[in-house]
Amino acid sequence: MLKGKVALVTGASRGIGREIAKKLASQGAAVIINFSGSKEKACEVKQEIEDSGGAAALYQWDVSDYAACEAGMKNIIREYGRLDILVNNAGITRDGLLMKMTEEDFDRVIRINLKGAFNTIRFASRQMLRQRSGRIINISSVTGVAGNAGQANYAAAKAGLIGLTKTAAKELASRGITVNAIAPGFIETDMTAGLSDKVKEGAMAQIPLGVFGKAEDVAAAAAFLASPDARYITGQVLHVDGGMVM
């Protein structure tokens, strides 16, 4: 379904990004695995994709670094000649109550989770405009829709990502580029594994389906939005949350 397409997935060395990279590769896309931390983890994803017969490459840079994003995108276009799919998945948490949150923790989450997406869209859209085609998928969160105590920085960034999605969708639609967001709920990842049993029980009580989602559920949604089947969908927020936010 995605044969001949080139996809960039940010923060693809673990969790949701890892599964999205694997899913897109399984459908024929050449996947660029972006990461800023452990190269070992990123190499594992690349190896998994290649062992399954897919194509993958590693590109390391911090998405919050504007100049690094520009250089990285130029290198991708130089190497592949095109970019068809951009998935903005890179993100971090620095949780804490608003009245106790440090300026550094607030700024760091905004820079990576929100400004990082602006940076990649800023440079990826140039190539997509030339191609007159492209798919941009931003990984937001139910927290960006409903808020969550102790996550003012994360909620602000993820809510901002929805606004960025809708604006970019309006600006780029005339050139055949779609821009959508996915808002995952509680997904089984390294990030949620560290939550206390009390927090997990409270979360479960809010989910009508009664179970946490899996990273593969989000990957399936991303693959759909990247596919030709989603050609007439843009500016939307797809909730993958078991009915948590309706």
Task: Tell me which residues are annotated as active site.
Answer: 154
HEC string for 4-71: CCEEEECCCCCHHHHHHHHHHHHCCCEEEEEECCCHHHHHHHHHHHHHCCCEEEEEECCCCCHHHHHH
Tell me how far CA of residue 33 lies from CA of 14, 46, 125, in angstroms. Answer: 10, 7, 18
CA 99 to chain centre: 29
- How far apart CA 64 and CA 50 sit, in angstroms, is 29
CA nearest neighbour of 120 among 91, 93, 153: 91
CA nearest neighbour of 42 among 9, 13, 17: 13
Paired with 55 in beta bridges are 30
CA nearest neighbour of 64 among 13, 107, 32: 107
- How far apart CA 193 and CA 127 sit, in angstroms, is 38
